[in-house]
Amino acid sequence: MNDENVHTWSIEVLIGEREGHTHAEARLHTNDATHLTATGRARLRPSDRDVPEIGAELAAARALADLAHQLLQCAVDDIEGITHEPVSLKA
């Protein structure tokens, strides 16, 4: 990667647990006006073993998946704003 063209974006993931529920919030910070926030949740079923790391992983993964979806939608909106035509992005 050429350092002249490298931009740094950061994602912060905050995770909290209370009463068998784990909540995660993922925050994307870019170099421009794009700042997105997404959430994810996981819950402990009564029959599950209490392994907090698993709840954190699930909640964080769900928050990051939501963040990815929002970022794709931002790209679609930006492209449509430039081209004035509908866009469909497929992964």
pLDDT at 51: 81
- The mean predicted confidence, pLDDT, of the chain is 90
pTM, to two decimals: 0.85
pLDDT at 91 exceeding the cut of 70 = no
pLDDT at 48: 79
Which domains are seen in the chain, by residue range? 3-83 (3.30.160.240)
Helix (H, G, I), strand (E, B) or coil at 52: helix
CB 24, CB 13: distance < 8 Å: yes
51 burial (CB, 10 Å; 0-12 / 13-18 / 19+) is exposed
pLDDT at 1: 65
pLDDT at 29 exceeding the cut of 90 = yes
Q: Smallest Cα–Cα separation from 89: which of 79, 77, 76?
A: 76
Quote the strand ranges of 1-91, DSSP E.
10-18, 21-29, 35-43
Residues 31-63 have pLDDT tens digits of 888 899 999 999 988 787 878 799 999 999 999
